[in-house]
Structure 1
Amino acid sequence: MSGHRSYFNLGLGACLAISLSAVAADGETVHVYNWYDYIGPNTLHDFKRDTGIQPVYDTFDSAEVLEGKLLTSRSGYDVVVASNFSLPTLIKAGALAPLPHARMPDFTNMDADLMAKLANNDPGNQYAVPYLWGTNGIGYNVDKVRAALGDKAPVDSWDLVFKEENLAKLGQCGVAMLDSPSEMLPVALHYLGLPPNSTNPEDYNKAEALLLKLRPHIAYFNSSKFISDLSNGNICVAVGWSGAMLEAKATAEQAGNGVKIAYSLPKEGAPVWFDTLVLLKDAPHPQQGLAFIDYLMRADVIAPVSNHLNYPNGNRNATALVAEATRNNPAVYPSAEALATLFTLQPLPPATERVRTRIWSKVKNGE
């Protein structure tokens, strides 16, 4: 999971990491480990200005890198941005410190519906608070999809990409899907009315049959290429992350190329994911780490991060501070009814993971 990382604005995160890695000769520091290019342009600077604590900021680009660093040794980090998908593994390994909710002024401002979803991976919400979150859905070229399927194209449904007669027509203008068995197979299972986190091999046989039937109409599986291809009109449909689709839309608008992109959260339900703030059990600077988490929970701090990255955050008081086009987009800030249809993904037993990997290899190769 967690490939939902921004692949956009590439350079900025690297510059921040370099400029802020120089530790102050004196004074307090906090060591932070976050996804590449996944923070506001001024957040770290403002944190130092407001608290006097110097952030030492490093980045990673895959959940495997993060888990490997946290599970094998004392990492030296205080605060880490971990996917909800990684939380069960990290909790089981004893890598995380429980958060002292009573000492966190903005904890009561976290959205209750989101916290209930997150509790599927962090029972009792003991160890993690949402940083940013999003959904997996369908990004599409409004005009090309209408041309292929007519005015009644089922853009609000997984039928758009999982019904063969629809996908066959859309295949003419290009369809892409994430290269991620842990994200795509649960969606296929859910579409078939099966548990998205199933451990039943027979369920996976059904998902495999569905995807192999669709495979001839899918241009490629890739977790970054679809963003630019959607924005410049090279493809007309992609299954991927909400923020990536909004980035493609914004890029097309800035280019003035006439490509109109929309993002749909299918009515049947879809994966919801969270990137969370956690404090490590062996954090060298736990108090400063907690101060950093507190800071990012503040509405006035996290709203500009949401605006920069096109992802919603967990503080319900921040919503009014988020750009109107983002907060009023029901595909990005779902209604309570839509949120109720969303499901979280779970780590699965090794035997099931092997089944998923084998199926994905077959699907990608079109065997």
Structure 2
Amino acid sequence: MRRRVSLLVAATTSVVLLAFLLPASALVARVAEARALDAARVQLQLLVPAVGLDSRAEVAAGPVALSDGGRLAVRWSDGTWLGAEGVLGDDPAPAGAEVRETDDGTHLLQPVRREGGTAVLEVFVPEAELRAGVAETRLVLGGLGLVLLLLALGVADRVARSLTRPVTDLARTAHRLGSGDLSARVVPDGPDEVREVGTALNRLATRIGELLADEREAAADLAHRLRTPLTALRLDVEALPPGHRERLQEDVDALSRGVDEVVAEARRPVREGLGAGSDAAAVVAERVRFWSVLAEEEHRPLTVDVPTGAVPVRVAEADLGAAVDALLGNVFAHTPEGTGCAVSVGPRQGGGALVVVRDAGPGLPVAGVVRGRSGGGSTGLGLDIARRTAEGAGGGLRIDSSPAGTAVALELGPPG
């Protein structure tokens, strides 16, 4: 917008300057020519009495002899020339004052009646004198036009900046909100319309924070309500005979852990995890060390390939750890014992990281792994956590499954 305003002002100013400078330049040329011709006419009028009354010898010794560079010529009444021959030559004397133009200048002819005939007085005005001062004046006009154009561009830039700066601030604040910084606010500035947009954006940011807080509070309340029937269920399981009690206790423990995770997630501050960053290499290495104990017990070859340097990504450390746990948990839960597994972390094109978990299991049909997203969109295999984490980080989840094994890739975007 700033550039367009400057271009518009430059075009408008140029048109106005051309409309003023072109006629002014032509006027300067005409004024210079008229000034030179008027001076020549004055000289003619001053010399007419001398030619009309003085003798030939007096005219030849006076005005003709004093002529500057042969500018003055007189054809006497007998047809002979005093001084250099003029442009009239042998032509008849004109009836009145006459102007004749040649390639080198302009000739003014003035007939003078005297006894014995008519003499003709001729004054020559060179082309350089007709154009005297025109070039310098045009340079001054051009410089003035350039100064006015630069001044207009400077004023236009300041005005455009005052218009675009509030819009730029709005865009910057919107990007901060989009990356998860819900504390971002804009100071309303600029025209009334832009101020109104800034105020509306601030209200929207406040409302988003309130809705997220209400959602987490509702989730936490729901999770707490589940604890009471869960405790009663645990007591009922403990009263069962030993044959069925162990298996049901494991299910109840798993359900209890799920409720604890919901409560912990609900209690986390709203801004935590939104636009947060972490080191993908460090998080993956730590989670692989955690799972390596179980892998050793099940005789699973577990390899990890992470770079030595940091690989920053736009996801909180806890969320990335939960996503990696979900992927490794699927491998341990859905492949036979002894099946190998490999985890790798690498930089992603455009920033971020690519986390890949591979196993040498029998493979899974992708259509069966990612089922239709009804309701919450759960995959049924724990991959929904990884998918939501990747999408929240500006990336996505890719699954490549074949009889030779399954590879799940997490694409994570760079920090916002």
Shorter-normalised TM range: under 0.3
RCO comparison, higher one (Cα < 8 Å, 6+): 1
Q: Which entry has the higher C-alpha Rg, 1 or 2?
A: 2
Q: Which has more helix, going by share of residues?
A: 2
